[in-house]
């Protein structure tokens, strides 16, 4: 089995693969204060819950955008499954082709998502990754990563509204029934959900024009992608585990 790990700013997502099948996924909260032993304890609990034997893993691979956690989680993996994990970056990148900049300049999450999309979907392909930040990755017809857009994520926007506007509350992210909100919560939900969807529609249109391509595959992944994608006018494929699939591809090519 292979253990794939995506360390994000908000959560750590784990996926266990047996051959090409994703056996289970799990999440841990990203905690910059935890040491390797604490992460090892959490990882051990997850494996027990999913009836997975630690010595059943042939290896592990990590993509991380939180450098201060990477070392501790690597130690945890080595302690629990007895294997040194591969780290996505300059050495392990699935041979992703990148326009202009070296691949080492890209975040590990961008590399993994791009490799996953290139492996799974027709090109050219745009990947809308809606996590802590909202990103649209651009992969051209030759499988080259051309660049991306980055904007504040849904959660960041919600937190900023509640923090900076005294009369606006903290709310959960749900799709409102209508665009024109009739109370404060509906208004905020509409602005965030439909506003983000409209931004994605607009950016996808502009990116298509710059690429000079009409038939472009658009894939959505990340924590808030399903809710937002359902509100887009653009035809979007929802792929919850795209990044984990990309990590598996990178590991197999290592």
Compute the chain's Rg from CA coordinates: 19
C-beta separation of 208 from 214 below 8 A = yes
What DSSP element (H or E) covers 13? strand 11-18
140 annotated active-site: no
C-beta separation of 68 from 30 below 8 A = no
Return the sign of the alpha-carbon dihedral for residues 23, 27, 32, 33: negative
What DSSP element (H or E) covers 199? helix 184-211
C-beta separation of 111 from 250 below 8 A = yes
Pick the catalytic residue from 45, 55, 109, 142. 109
Structure tokens at 170: 């903290």
C-beta separation of 242 from 222 below 8 A = no
Other Cβ atoms closer than 10 A to 184: 12
Give catalytic residue positions: 109
């Amino acid at each position: 089995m292979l253990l794939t790990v995506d360390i994000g700013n908000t959560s750590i997502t784990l996926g266990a693969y047996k051959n090409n099948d994703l056996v289970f996924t799990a999440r841990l909260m990203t905690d910059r204060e935890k040491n390797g032993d604490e992460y090892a304890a959490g990882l051990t609990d997850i494996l027990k819950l999913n009836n997975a034997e630690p010595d059943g893993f042939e290896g592990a691979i990590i993509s991380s955008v939180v450098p201060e956690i990477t070392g501790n989680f690597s130690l945890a993996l080595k302690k629990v499954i007895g294997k040194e994990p591969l780290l996505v970056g300059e050495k392990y990148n699935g041979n992703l082709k990148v326009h202009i900049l070296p691949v080492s300049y890209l975040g590990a999450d961008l590399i993994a998502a791009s490799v996953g999309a290139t492996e799974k979907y027709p090109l050219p392909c745009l990947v809308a990754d809606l996590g802590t930040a909202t990103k649209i990755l651009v992969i051209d017809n030759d499988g080259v990563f051309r660049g991306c857009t980055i904007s504040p994520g849904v959660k960041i926007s919600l937190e900023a509204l509640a923090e900076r506007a005294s009369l606006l509350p903290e709310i959960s992210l749900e799709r409102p029934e209508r665009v024109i909100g009739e109370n404060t919560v509906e208004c905020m939900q509409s602005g965030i959900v439909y506003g983000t969807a409209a931004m994605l529609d607009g950016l996808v249109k502009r990116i298509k024009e710059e690429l000079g391509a009409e038939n472009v595959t658009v894939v959505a992944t990340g924590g808030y992608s399903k809710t937002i994608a359902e509100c887009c006018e653009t035809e979007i494929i929802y792929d919850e585990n795209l990044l984990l699939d990309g990590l598996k591809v990178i590991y197999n090519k290592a």
